[in-house]
Structure formats: C-alpha cells, structure tokens
A = this chain, B = another copy of it.
C-alpha cells in the first residue's frame, strides 16, 4: 500500500518550522507578554479588551464609537458588546450625538477614570519588569521593527478600507 502516507516525520517543501513562521512567532510572543498582564486584569475584574477601551476613553475623553474602535484596535461588533457591559458596570456613560444622531458619544464615569489611575502604576511596573528582563534597548528595537513591519505590509491584500484617500 503506497497510496497512504499517514506519517511524515520531517518538513516538506513549504511547511516551515515554527520559528520561521511570522504568524506563530508573533502569537507566541504576544502570549508570553500577555501572561504578564493577564493576572493583573483578572484581579481587577476586567478583560484586556475592556481595559483598552477605558484606557482610550481616559486619553481621548468623550468620543464616538468609530474612533473608539479604531483607537482600541477592536472591530465594531466587539466594541458594541464591550460597551454594553462597561455601561452596565458603570465604567462608561453614553449620550446621543449632538450634530449627528447616528453617533453615540462615550465617556468615562468617575468610576472608570479611577480604574485607570489605579491600574496605571501596576501596568507600568509590568512594562518595566519586561524591559528589565529583555533589555530596554531590545524592547525599543523590537517595537521599531514591529512598526516597520506594519508599514511595509500596510496596503495590498485588499482590505475593505485600505484605499481611503490613497488612490489619486
């Protein structure tokens, strides 16, 4: 029986090692980093994504959902659900848009604001611990490379909104 090949014990052409795959390498690195932050968020009773939302609201002040989604790197459907929970929990307030009644204007409640100021030093400490372990210069080097990668890839494989004000 030679039409069965149930086991292939070494890489074939096109199947690369984990260490050479950008998607997997980025996944592993992010998991390694998040394992440092996860316990903190968990202790605070909020999720990583909820933190990203209230963090942006703290930095930007009252803003609409579209900007909030863009700034917190969430898709609109995710943000809708998250805002519903954050409102129910009293972290976020919502009022209808003034000039455009399609919009919702979101802002942080005092409770939400307090959450940010309370968490900030801890998160800062985690960042410092990571920099201490990995080397602050290497962190900067990595951040620069990641930004450049993003720029280098920012365009072609037809994403819905990749051609905004870019085609003459």
A-side residues, CB < 8 A to B, are: 3-16, 19-37, 39, 48, 52, 55, 58-62, 73, 107-108, 110, 113, 116-117, 120-121, 123-124, 127, 130, 133-135, 138-139, 141-143, 145-150, 152-154, 157-159
Residues B39 and A158 in contact, CB atoms below 8 Å apart: yes
Please give me the residue from chain B that is nearest to A108 by CB atom.
B6
A141 and B24 CA atoms in complex are apart in Å by: 15
A20 and B82 CA atoms in complex are apart in Å by: 24
Selected contact of A26 from candidates B107, B146, B148, B152, CB within 8 Å: B146
Assembly of this chain: how many copies?
A: 2
Residues B133 and A153 in contact, CB atoms below 8 Å apart: yes
Selected contact of A61 from candidates B7, B59, B117, CB within 8 Å: B7
Residues A37 and B25 in contact, CB atoms below 8 Å apart: no
Cβ contacts under 8 Å, A15 to chain B: 55, 58-59, 116, 120
Cβ contacts under 8 Å, A139 to chain B: 22
A-B contact pairs, 14 of them (CB 8 A): A6-B108, A8-B61, A16-B127, A23-B30, A23-B37, A24-B52, A25-B147, A26-B29, A27-B30, A36-B153, A133-B152, A134-B153, A138-B148, A142-B146
Selected contact of A147 from candidates B3, B19, B145, CB within 8 Å: B19
